């Protein structure tokens, strides 16, 4: 962010259910993530924008570019999935991951994610740990279901 801010107006946002953003009751619909982002950009009168996202944030950026191309100039996608269609190994691993996430305490999940996502920049470790721990477990389960079913594979040509 610091490097991009030297040349660009930068805006960070909390995806619904993350950070300081609320998570309305009921089913979490991943389509709402892009709608939230477009609502924010429209409110701030930012159009079009360069979107940058990591993992789920990247997939949200990708879906936003597909669904609202008039709002997006370019994408910077980091570790971004675009599909939930997997080969046999991924299907097995994903099912185990989804099931086991119900039983893994958030503090343990935070440690695992911090280690994984800070391999190349150890300065990020504490931030990632705190960010994961800040999400209440019941919120995480609801968000993870929505995130793990996001699909853009058939729309990439757009």
Task: Identify the residue whose tokens are 């503090």.
Answer: 107
Express each pLDDT in 43-84 by its tens digit: 999 989 999 998 899 999 999 999 999 999 999 998 888 877
CB half-sphere exposure, 26, CA atoms < 13 A: 4
The pTM for the full model equals 0.81
Contact 33, 18 (CB under 8 A): no
Structure-model confidence comparison of residues 29 and 112, the more confident one: 29
117-150 b/e with 16+ CB inside 10 Å = b?
bbeeeeeebeebbebbbebeeebbebbbebbeeb
Total count of residues recorded for the chain: 158
Q: How far apart are CA 138 and CA 149, in angstroms?
A: 18
Q: How far apart are CA 149 and CA 68, in angstroms?
A: 20
Please, where are the H alpha helices in 17-124?
A: 31-43, 56-67, 88-100, 106-117
Nearest to 59 by CA among 79, 41, 43, 42: 79
Percent of the chain with pLDDT over 70: 90
């Amino acid at each position: 962010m610091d490097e991009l801010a030297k040349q660009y107006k930068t805006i960070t946002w909390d995806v619904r259910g993350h950070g300081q953003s609320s998570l309305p009751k009921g089913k979490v619909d991943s389509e709402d993530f892009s709608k939230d982002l477009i609502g924010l950009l429209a409110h701030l009168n930012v159009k079009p924008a360069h979107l940058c996202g990591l993992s789920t944030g990247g997939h949200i950026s990708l879906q936003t570019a597909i669904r609202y191309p008039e709002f997006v100039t370019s994408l910077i996608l980091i570790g971004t999935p675009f599909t939930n269609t997997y080969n046999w190994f991924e299907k097995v691993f994903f099912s185990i991951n989804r099931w086991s996430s119900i039983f893994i305490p958030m503090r343990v999940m935070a440690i695992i994610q911090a280690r994984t996502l800070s391999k190349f920049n150890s300065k990020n470790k504490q931030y990632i740990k705190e960010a994961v721990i800040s999400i209440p477990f019941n919120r995480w389960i609801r968000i993870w279901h929505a995130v793990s079913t996001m699909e853009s594979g058939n729309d990439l040509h757009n």
